[in-house]
A = this chain, B = another copy of it.
Amino acid sequence: MARIGLVGFGRMGQAILPRLVQSGAPVMVWNRTDKTKLIEAAGAIPASSPSEVVKNCDVVLSFLFDDAAVEAVYLGPSGLFSESCEGRTFIEMSTIKPRTIEAISCAALARRAAFVEAPVSGSTAAARAGSLLVLAGGAPDEICAVTPILNLFARRVVHMGPIGRGMAAKLGVQLLTYSYWLALGEAAAIASSSGLPIKEFLEVLADTPAALGALRGKLPAILGDEKDVAFSISAAQKDLEVIRDHARLLDVQGAMGESVFGQYGAAVRSGLGDDDIAAIVAFASKRPAHSQAQQRDITSENK
């Protein structure tokens, strides 16, 4: 049985760990900040560095925040590539620039390690339920070899082509999702300013062909009935920066991507970075500011 390593223990890492542990394989986890107790409580072994994970595991999954974190974890001191990693397999699941993942993939090849990109579609709930969609890129034999491990948390593993194509598919999927939540904010503003309560609008919308697959699951968060942060606006802004950078590199940038990037940036600057992405709907509909202003008016009248 392959020994599994997990590098990066954020929201998604925490969501898949129980599924890795339940497989019966020994699992070792490293995180930049100390999460020893959480890791041990989940039945895994904490590691003191990425290199310790490589020494003790056959397959290393990586789920990190951004390009800088991925580069530091693979190439930095005590990083995944700081010791011999011949015969090891690395599965990179972070959403990062295709050129970064291509560079890491080349570095893995030079070290005689296998390397698969495996960005996922689906959020923390799908990860916990084992229903993520993996957009795999890499050599077909290497993807096939790790598919049993991916299937511990995925309902489907799609082979998109060589390294970079899985990431390109993921960036496209993310651009669509982020655009949709913004447009939903504007649509909700039109509805509510016309006297139609947002909840009624959203419930009808969910029954039209204009409903996004992700809409029903996000309704409680959009309406403020669910406070759990599944995916933050800061993380979306980071993804949009990756999308914009990649689109510019390919000379295919468009007006939507630029506009969406600008508005998520504005939301982060206004202090919403740590909120769930559902908060972007209220931000785009300018509801909370409006309601607060009304609240203040009412309060001062009562004084």
Contacts and interface: CB of A to CB of B under 8 A. Distances in A.
Interface of A: 98, 121-123, 126, 133, 135, 156, 158, 160-162, 164-165, 167-169, 171-177, 179-180, 182-191, 193-196, 200-201, 204-205, 207-214, 217, 243, 246-247, 250-257, 259-260, 262-263, 284-286
Nearest to A263: B255
Contact of A172 (B122, B135, B174, B190): B190
Contacts of A196: 160-161, 165, 168-169
Nearest to A211: B213
A135 B194 CA distance: 14
Interface hub of A194, A243, A256 (most chain B Cβ within 10 A):
A194
A204 B158 contact: yes
Chief secondary structure at chain A's binding surface: helix
Contact of A173 (B182, B208, B213, B250): B208
B252 A286 contact: yes
Given A169-B204, A193-B252, A256-B260, 6 more contacts: A167-B194, A169-B196, A175-B187, A182-B254, A183-B256, A259-B259
Given A184-B176, A191-B168, A252-B186, A209 B209 contact: no
A195 B217 CA distance: 32
A255 B187 CA distance: 12
B183 A179 contact: yes
Contacts of A183: 175-176, 179-180, 256-257, 260
7 contacts: A133-B207, A162-B195, A168-B191, A168-B196, A186-B256, A254-B284, A255-B259
Contact of A257 (B177, B186, B214, B260): B186
